[in-house]
């Protein structure tokens, strides 16, 4: 970052503080979040003082690949522009006016972070694909055919689905199948370190959500959890992360009520029944009706699967897990 600091200082020293129109200074190097606010702007501030408005600081990350950089510049997958408060810039608009890519104006930190997110996801995809390839090779499976079938699914696999930060994964399929692949890979010595970490990461996210929703909440506060099943409009509680959330909230001493119109303990059967009562034995006592949920004033309402918008709730705070921001 010494190069960034030095070039920032040199530019700042040559800016006319009496400029009528601000000089647009755009940075494109990969920055860690906070670099503009904590390094670049203080340098300009130190030189220009009260005339800092003589410059317009922009952070616009590049999405260029080696050997195709010029082509990528004029045909980027997206254009990201970080500004003070996410405000638009006339000069930047003019610079990019002939490009057809979607453009996003955002704050500095979001613009600085997206490049790291993109490249880490690319690395994750390569590592995941290679782990699957190792399993295929050891089991005598055609990895090319697996790839062909996998990428053909643009509804769920190669799509925005499952990529929005929110709740932990759960239900009767994902945890079970991840465990199955973990077991197979370990048994044949495929060394699938990325896949092996998925369940541990999911458990860490469950703990994170508990800390997040209860931050600043007084002991014995009245909490309503809206949605107990892992997905709305069903009563499958097997490995539901919301069931774990409810259990942890009770363990922490909060006065918990749960509303989920699809969950009826007397109608549960088989593994769903056993799993539910082993994790939440008092479920029958804390489930409430729509009328009771709407009549009670809660300190906190946690919307776990999008059902809260169907209710007329009275609460001091509402937390939507699936809109984690």
Report, as residue numbers or ranges, the catalytic residues: 173
Question: Is 151:133 a contact under the CB 8 Å cutoff?
Answer: no
Enter the tokens of residue 179. 């465990």
Which stretches of the chain are DSSP H helices? 2-13, 35, 41-48, 69-74, 90-95, 108-139, 143-152, 174-188, 193-196, 198-214, 241-251, 270-279, 283-286, 290-295
For residues 174 and 169, give the distance between their C-alpha atoms in angstroms, rounded to a whole number: 7
Phi, psi dihedrals of residue 153, rounded to the nearest 5°: -85, 95
Torsions phi, psi of 56, nearest 5?
-120, 110
- Sheet-wide strand order for 79-82: 23-27, 55-59, 79-82, 103-106
Instruction: Say how many C-beta atoms besides its own lie within 10 A of residue 11's C-beta.
Output: 16
Alpha-carbon distance of 107 to 116, in angstroms, equals: 16
């Amino acid at each position: 970052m010494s190069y960034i600091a030095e070039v920032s200082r040199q530019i700042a020293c040559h800016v006319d503080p009496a400029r009528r129109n601000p000089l647009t200074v755009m940075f494109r190097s990969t920055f860690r979040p906070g670099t503009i606010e904590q390094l670049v702007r203080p340098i300009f501030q130190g030189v220009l003082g009260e005339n800092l408005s003589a410059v317009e600081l922009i952070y616009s990350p590049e999405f260029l690949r080696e050997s195709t950089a010029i082509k990528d510049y004029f045909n980027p997958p997206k254009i990201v522009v970080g500004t003070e408060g996410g405000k638009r810039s006339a000069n930047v608009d003019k610079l990019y006016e002939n490009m057809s890519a979607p453009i996003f104006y955002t704050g500095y930190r979001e613009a600085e972070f997206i490049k790291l997110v993109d490249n880490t996801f690319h690395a994750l995809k390569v590592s995941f694909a290679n782990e699957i390839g190792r399993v295929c090779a050891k089991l005598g499976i055609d990895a090319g055919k697996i790839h062909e079938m996998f990428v053909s699914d643009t509804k769920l696999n190669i799509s925005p689905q499952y990529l929005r930060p929110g709740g932990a994964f759960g239900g009767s399929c994902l945890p079970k199948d991840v465990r199955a692949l973990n077991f197979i890979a370990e048994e044949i010595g495929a060394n699938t370190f990325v896949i092996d970490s998925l369940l541990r990461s999911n458990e860490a996210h469950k703990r994170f959500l508990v800390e997040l929703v209860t931050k600043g909440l007084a002991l014995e506060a009245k909490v309503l959890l809206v949605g107990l099943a892992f997905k709305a409009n069903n009563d499958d509680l097997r490995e539901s992360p919301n069931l774990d959330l409810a259990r942890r909230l009770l363990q922490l001493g909060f006065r918990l009520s749960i509303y989920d119109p699809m969950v009826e303990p007397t109608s549960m059967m088989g593994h769903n029944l056993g799993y539910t009562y082993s994790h939440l034995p008092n479920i029958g006592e804390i489930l409430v009706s729509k009328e009771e949920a709407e009549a009670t004033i809660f300190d906190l309402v946690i919307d776990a699967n999008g059902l809260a918008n169907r209710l007329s709730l009275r609460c001091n705070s509402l937390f939507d897990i699936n809109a984690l921001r």
